[in-house]
Amino acid sequence: MRVLIIGGGIGGLAAAVGLRQAGFTAAVYERAPEVTEVGAGLTVWTNAVRALARLGVGPAVEKVATPLRTSELRTWRGKLLAEMDLARIGEKYGFPSVGVHRADLLQALAAACGPGVVTLKSTCTAFTHDADGVTVRFADGRTDRGDLLIGADGLRSCVRTLLHGSHRPRYAGYTAWRAVARVDRPEVPVGVTVMAVGRGSQFGFLPIGNGRTYWFCTANVPEGERDVPGTVKAKLLARFAGWYAPVPAVIEATDEAAILRNDVLDRPPAPAWGTGRVTLLGDAAHPTTPNLGQGACMAIEDAVALARSLVTAPHDPVAALRAYERERIPRTAFVTNQSWRLGRWLAKESRLMCAVRDTMVKWSRSRILADTERLIGADV
**Treating both helix axes as pointing N-terminal to C-terminal, what angle do 351-377 and 46-54 enclose, rounded to 10 degrees?**
30
* Whole-number Cα distances in Å, 304 to 50, 338, 364, 380: 10, 23, 33, 8
**CA atoms lying within 13 Å on the CB side of residue 204:** 25
Look up residue 139 and give its DSSP letter. Answer: T
In which residue ranges of the chain is pLDDT below 50?
none
Q: What is the pLDDT of residue 172?
A: 97
Closest CA to 259 of 238, 241, 235, 243: 235
Q: Give, in degrees to the nearest 5, the angle at Cα 262 between 256 and 268.
A: 160
Give CA–CA dist 3/53, Å, rounded.
22
Longest C-alpha distance within the chain, in Å?
A: 63
Q: What is the pLDDT of residue 96?
A: 97
Q: What is the pLDDT of residues 67-78, one digit of tens each?
A: 999 999 999 999
Domains and CATH numbers, the chain: 2-169+266-377 (3.50.50.60)
Closest CA to 28 of 44, 17, 38, 37: 17
Q: Is 211 left (phi over 0), alpha (psi -120 to 50) or beta?
A: left
Tell me, yes or no, if the pTM score tops 0.85: yes
Q: What is the pLDDT of residue 104?
A: 94
